[in-house]
Every structure is written in C-alpha cells, then in structure tokens.
Amino acid sequence: MNKRRVVITGIGVITPIGNNVQEFWEGLISGRNGAGPITKFDTTNFVTKFACEVKNFDASIYIDKKEMKRMDIYTHYALAAAAMALEDSQLDLSKINLELAGVVFGSGIGGIQTFEDQHTQFMQGGPKRISPFFVPMMIPDIAAGQISIKYGLKGPNYSTVSACATSSHAIADAFILIQRGSADIMFSGGSEYPITPMSVGGFNSARALSTWNDRMMEASRPFDKDRNGFVMGEGGGLVVLEELEHALNRGAKIYAEIVGVGLTGDAYHITAPPPGGEGAVRSMKEALRDAGVDPTVVDYINAHGTSTELNDLNETIAIKSVFGDHAYKLAVSSTKSMTGHLLGAAGAVEAVATALAIKNSIVPPTINLDEPGEGLDLNYTPKVAVKKEINYAISNTFGFGGHNASILFKKFEE
C-alpha cells in the first residue's frame, strides 16, 4: 500500500529573533543574535545572567485578556503560533471535516513559571492560596488542548514530552497519523517558557549553561572550540501538516514535504549521548530508510548543535558515520547559535527553519563559529548564510533521557 504523502501548508513561530515567520526568517539569514541579559527575574545570585528571550510579544493580539490570566506563557506562545500558522495556511475550518483535524503539540517543561508562582503562594499562605487554575495552567498537555478547543479540532489530540526532542516527536507523530489515514490535517509543534529561576538554577547546577556573562553575544557558539554550554531560549513553533491531495484540492501553498522520520533511544545515560552518537546514527538512518532514499541525496542538516562539548562532537561523528564521504559535501548549521536552545520547542522552530531553507534555497548560518573544535571538520556554514539548492534536508533533535528524532524534509514536487 502506498503511503499517503504529507506536506507543510502553514507555519507560525514566536522566537528570540522574531515574532512571526517573516521576522524569524530575516533574522536567520542575517545572523541576528537573540541573546541578552535576563529581564524576567533578578539574576544577582545566579551563575548565568543571560538568555535568548522573546522580545516585544503581545499575547493579547491572539488571546482574550481574561483568558490570558488563566494560562501559562508557554500556552500563550502555543496559541500565537497556531493562529499564525492557521492564517498562513488559508484553511477554512468551516469547510473541512474537523474530526479528521487534530493536534499533537508538546512542551518539555510545561508551565514551570506557574508552578514556581503558585509554590510561592502556597508557602506564604497555605493551600487556600493556590489558584483553581494552577493544574490546567501547569500541565504540559494543556497547550494541545487549548489549540484543539479554540479551533474545534476533534481528531487526534495529545502532547509529547521528551525534553529537547519533544516537538520533533510531535511532528513525527502527526506525520505518521496522516500517513496512516487517522487524520487529514494536523497542527503540530511545541512551545516553552523556561527562563525562570528554577530552570536557570537547575541547568546551572547541571553545568549545562554557558557562563559567558561578559561575552553573552558570543556565548551560543555550536561547534566552536571555545563553546562552554548552551544558551537558554524560549518561544514556540507550529506547522500545519496536511495530506497532499487534501492540500492540492484546495489550492494550498506548500513549503515542503515530510518524507521520513527516525525515532530512536540511546539507552545509555540521562544527559550524555553515547560515544560516537550511536543513537543519532540510527535516528538519521531510520529517517532515510523510512523515505526510501540514499544518503547522498541530502543537501542540508539543521543540526541539534547545542554548543555543548559532547553533543557537537558526537553529532558530527554521527553525521560522518551515516553519510561517509558525502558528509563533507553537506551543508550543516545550527540555528541555535541565533535563537538559543528552546528546549521542548527547539524541534518545531528548527523544522520551520528547515522548511524555509528548502523553500528559499538558503542555508542559515552558524554564527559565532570562529574556529571549529578538535574533530569538528564539516561545513558548518560559519558566520553567513549561503545560497544553495536544497532538495532534501534533515532536522535533528536529541533530548535528555536519550530521546532522538530526525525528520527528513523534501522540496515539494507534484
């Protein structure tokens, strides 16, 4: 039986380098840097005092002000991205079967700001001070639920939670659901609002964050010899996935086609990748096998590229293991050098970046890459964007717990 084809017909993003698709894409190709001092809380006692924050975001454009107060900000980002993607797709919801339209949307941490705020209320005034909206504001699935409720999407509806691989898993699941005929349309992606005292303090304790407070604009430097940890980011991304014939029948514009996904587990360590990126190797190989294509057709990899010592080296080794000599012909880049690491939202935002790279035939750069580290000898697209025909591209995301996801995109051809 032939698999149903799945295409991207709408996109929406909220990021540290742009609060809509046009701003985001212009930021990527110009090398815009999203880093800056943390403004959300007093960082006096914190080791890391900077992050990639979303700037000038007004949730009231997308959400009723009364409802806003009953949602964590990660859900604000989700609903904003959904509204943008729906408008971009030009879907008329009154003309589709809403029972075949669903949502798979994730968050790695969910409403941690709500949890911290409500814990403070509890400590100060006891359990009676806890808001009745505490639980539905905090839980990581509620963004998927809110998108479903707002648009009446009655098909598959759930959340994924797999650390940094969260929203790539969401998109992979949505792709598979359409392929198998469980849905014709899926809203899929992820959002995160992690720049909170507990999050920053926790990642500092794990020694995962960069501490370059005096060089914050240079701190997110994937593949560079001086990298010393990731830079935290926030925001959200959503793609409207649609069965090909459904999209063609309504004359939809198509950004790219998803043709394969690879989902694997390291079964190795709670935070570190296995030597040689063995899980990432299998993830990329499975995406290629799923699509039925040879590794040599791939032109670009949007790398996980976190700016951490172990990830960047092991992902590079994994790419060389999968692609052999072709690895040196690939364009590779890490858009985290500009956006920071959006944790559970990273996969969705980077899926958007990859689809736009294919659509526009431009590889976004890896900024701040002055001198690659030892063993890092691929073309990481340093400093500036490069014009390049991209027919196939892979987006990689790998999460704490050993969760790996690779999504293979293709330039759309009827």
Q: How far apart are CA 346 and CA 219, in angstroms?
A: 18
Q: Is 92 exposed, middle or buried (0-12, 13-18, 19+ CB in 10 A)?
A: exposed
> From edge to edge, which strands make up the β-sheet containing 185-192?
157-158, 101-106, 185-192, 235-243, 6-14, 256-265, 403-410, 392-399, 300-302, 331-333
Of 397, 310, 281, the closest CA to residue 345 belongs to: 397
**Length of the chain, in residues:** 414
Q: How far apart are CA 366 and CA 385, in angstroms?
A: 8
Give the catalytic positions in this structure: 164
**Residue 263 φ then ψ, to 5°:** -125, 120
Q: How far apart are CA 259 and CA 275, in angstroms?
A: 28
**Cα separation of the two ends of the chain:** 19
Q: How far apart are CA 333 and CA 357, in angstroms?
A: 11
154 near 89, Cβ under 8 Å? no
Backbone CA torsion sign across 315, 316, 322, 328: positive
DSSP 34: -
Q: How far apart are CA 329 and CA 378, in angstroms?
A: 8
